């Protein structure tokens, strides 16, 4: 689509008309020109001696010059009006949250103790579904994924590509990163990638989800807490796992002990201005991520911008070319 950025410039098309009708004629401004009969007689004799076709040629030449002059003026005015080629609008993302999801995929996440609508699910399957919905709702945020067990991996760097992120998450299996739980290493990996871009810390968030305690890795839990505190990055922690295991399709439950380090997760969240949440079933896990959504509101939707190409130089170049042609015509006539 073509538009003009300075529509007011088109008023200049009337300038030649205004000059012609409003300004006084040259004779009235400076008086009548000095008349020399001899010169007039010579001009008349010269004109009479020419072929009548030359007179018609002069008329045509004057008409051509007037046409070229008018077209050049119109093109010059069009150039001043700044024609632009405008492309389709596309959305530009706001500088919203950078969120790194830190998900425990140790073997214990295979434990089938999450009940939803009278069906029993393993912990990781429940987490995948709930976290996928959370990702869908964070439309304006960059989100990344760190997976950890014995070792921690940055599986998906911070990205706006939510579909690819979910595909990686949904294809994850418990035990892929080892059997033990290295929470400290996972936090270290996440912090390293969070601070790499140099952006302010206030819009960066870590969401750590685990069902165990830090029992492996190179970074201890207290060290991880100090690192997060130094970087001033907020950490929300989520402890998952039921304190009872359903049997026979949930007909009855058996109490079990848990290795979940609730005290450490609570301290990590408190030291970084975050919060600790406990999720014992699918419904409570949904509520946890809804609460995080509320605590970390998104910015307003991204702005829509248009790609604009300036075209004024086309009519400007054409006008200059026509003015050059007009000068050549005047020299030829002369």
pLDDT in tens, 132-180: 999 999 988 899 999 999 999 999 999 999 999 999 999 999 999 988 9
Alpha-carbon span 154 to 195, nearest angstrom: 14
Q: Tokens 């950025």 map to which residue?
A: 5
- Confidence at residue 38, expressed as pLDDT on a 0 to 100 scale: 43
In terms of phi and psi (left: phi > 0; alpha: psi -120 to 50; beta: otherwise), the region of 117 is left
Which residues, in sequence order, are bridge partners of residue 253?
246
**pLDDT range class, residue 44, cuts 50, 70, 90:** low
State the average pLDDT over residues 179-199: 90
Considering the domain architecture, whether residues 81 and 24 belong to the same structural domain is answered as: yes
Q: Among the listed ranges 49-53, 127-131, 146-150, 245-249, which one has the minimum average pLDDT value?
A: 49-53
Highest mean pLDDT among 13-22, 26-35, 74-83: 74-83
Domains identified in the chain, total number? 2
- Confidence at residue 36, expressed as pLDDT on a 0 to 100 scale: 45
Alpha-carbon span 73 to 322, nearest angstrom: 9
- Confidence at residue 72, expressed as pLDDT on a 0 to 100 scale: 87
Considering the domain architecture, whether residues 183 and 70 belong to the same structural domain is answered as: no
Considering the domain architecture, whether residues 171 and 82 belong to the same structural domain is answered as: no
Considering the domain architecture, whether residues 212 and 252 belong to the same structural domain is answered as: yes
Alpha-carbon span 196 to 144, nearest angstrom: 13
**pLDDT per position as a tens digit, 292-319:** 988 888 665 556 667 788 888 898 999 8
127 belongs to a structural domain? yes
Alpha-carbon span 298 to 139, nearest angstrom: 8
97 belongs to a structural domain? yes
State the average pLDDT over residues 3-12: 88
Considering the domain architecture, whether residues 40 and 14 belong to the same structural domain is answered as: yes
Q: Among the listed ranges 7-16, 143-152, 216-225, which one has the minimum average pLDDT value?
A: 7-16
311 belongs to a structural domain? no
- Confidence at residue 233, expressed as pLDDT on a 0 to 100 scale: 93
Considering the domain architecture, whether residues 201 and 324 belong to the same structural domain is answered as: no
Q: Which residue has the higher pLDDT, 8 or 90?
A: 8
Alpha-carbon span 199 to 182, nearest angstrom: 27
**pLDDT per position as a tens digit, 91-115:** 655 557 899 999 999 999 998 888 7
308 belongs to a structural domain? no
- Confidence at residue 303, expressed as pLDDT on a 0 to 100 scale: 60
Average pLDDT, the chain: 82
Q: Which two tokens stand for residue 143?
A: 């989100």
Of residues 214, 187, 184, 202, the one with CA closest to residue 273: 202
**pLDDT range class, residue 257, cuts 50, 70, 90:** low
Output the domain CATH number for residue 137. 3.40.50.410
Q: Tokens 């040629």 map to which residue?
A: 57
Number of neighbouring beta carbons within 10 Å of residue 171: 9
309 belongs to a structural domain? no
Q: Describe the crossing of helices 52-80 and 313-333 by its angle, rounded to 10 degrees.
A: 160
What percent of the chain lies above the pLDDT cut of 90?
A: 44
Helix (H, G, I), strand (E, B) or coil at 120: strand
State the average pLDDT over residues 202-208: 92
Considering the domain architecture, whether residues 164 and 25 belong to the same structural domain is answered as: no
Alpha-carbon span 228 to 147, nearest angstrom: 18
Over 50: is that where the pLDDT of 29 sits? no
Considering the domain architecture, whether residues 126 and 236 belong to the same structural domain is answered as: yes
Specify the length of the chain in residues: 334
- Confidence at residue 97, expressed as pLDDT on a 0 to 100 scale: 84
Which residues, at least 6 apart from 261, have a Cβ–Cβ distance to it below 8 Å? 183, 212, 213, 214, 221, 239
Considering the domain architecture, whether residues 80 and 100 belong to the same structural domain is answered as: no
Q: Which residue has the higher pLDDT, 323 or 190?
A: 190
Considering the domain architecture, whether residues 22 and 79 belong to the same structural domain is answered as: yes
Alpha-carbon span 269 to 228, nearest angstrom: 10
Over 90: is that where the pLDDT of 120 sits? no
Which residues, at least 6 apart from 102, have a Cβ–Cβ distance to it below 8 Å? 146, 148, 186, 187, 190, 206, 207, 208, 209
State the average pLDDT over residues 218-228: 93
58 belongs to a structural domain? yes
310 belongs to a structural domain? no
Domain boundaries, position 322: 2-88+317-333
Q: Give pTM, 2 decimals.
A: 0.62
Alpha-carbon span 171 to 155, nearest angstrom: 12
- Confidence at residue 39, expressed as pLDDT on a 0 to 100 scale: 44
Of residues 81, 91, 71, the one with CA closest to residue 310: 81
Q: Are strands 119-122 and 204-210 parallel, antiparallel or unpaired?
A: unpaired
Q: Among the listed ranges 55-59, 132-136, 237-241, which one has the minimum average pLDDT value?
A: 55-59
Considering the domain architecture, whether residues 196 and 268 belong to the same structural domain is answered as: yes
Considering the domain architecture, whether residues 165 and 47 belong to the same structural domain is answered as: no
State the average pLDDT over residues 23-27: 59
206 belongs to a structural domain? yes
């Amino acid at each position: 689509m073509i538009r003009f950025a300075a529509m007011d410039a088109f008023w200049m098309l009337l300038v030649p008309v205004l000059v012609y009708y409003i300004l006084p004629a040259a004779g009235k401004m400076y008086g009548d020109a000095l008349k020399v009969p001899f010169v007039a007689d010579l001009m008349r004799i010269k004109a009479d001696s020419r072929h009548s076709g030359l007179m018609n040629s002069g008329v045509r030449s004057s008409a051509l010059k007037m046409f070229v002059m008018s077209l050049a003026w119109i093109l010059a005015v069009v150039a001043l009006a700044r024609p632009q080629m405008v492309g389709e609008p596309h959305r530009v993302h706001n500088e919203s949250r950078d969120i790194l999801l830190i998900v425990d995929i140790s073997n214990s996440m295979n434990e089938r103790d999450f009940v939803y609508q009278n069906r029993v699910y393993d912990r990781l399957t429940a987490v995948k579904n709930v976290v996928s919905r959370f990702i869908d709702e964070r439309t304006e945020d960059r989100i990344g994924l760190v997976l950890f067990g014995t070792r921690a991996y940055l599986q998906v760097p911070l990205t706006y590509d939510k579909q690819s992120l979910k595909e990686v998450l949904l294809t994850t299996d418990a035990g892929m990163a080892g059997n033990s739980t290295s929470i400290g290493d996972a936090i270290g990996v996440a912090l390293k990638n969070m601070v790499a871009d140099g952006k302010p810390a206030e819009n960066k968030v870590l969401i750590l989800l685990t069902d165990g305690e830090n029992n492996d890795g190179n970074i201890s839990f207290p060290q991880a807490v100090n690192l997060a505190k130094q970087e001033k990055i907020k950490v929300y922690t989520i402890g998952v796992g039921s304190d009872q295991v359903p049997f026979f399709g949930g007909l009855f439950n058996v109490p079990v002990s848990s290795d979940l380090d609730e005290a450490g997760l609570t301290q990590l969240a408190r030291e970084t201005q975050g919060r600790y949440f406990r999720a014992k079933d699918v419904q409570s896990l949904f509520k946890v991520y809804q609460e995080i959504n509320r605590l970390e509101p998104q910015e307003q939707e991204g702005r829509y911008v248009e790609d604009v190409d300036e075209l004024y130089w086309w009519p400007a170049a054409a006008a200059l070319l026509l003015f050059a042609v007009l000068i050549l015509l005047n020299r030829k006539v002369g």
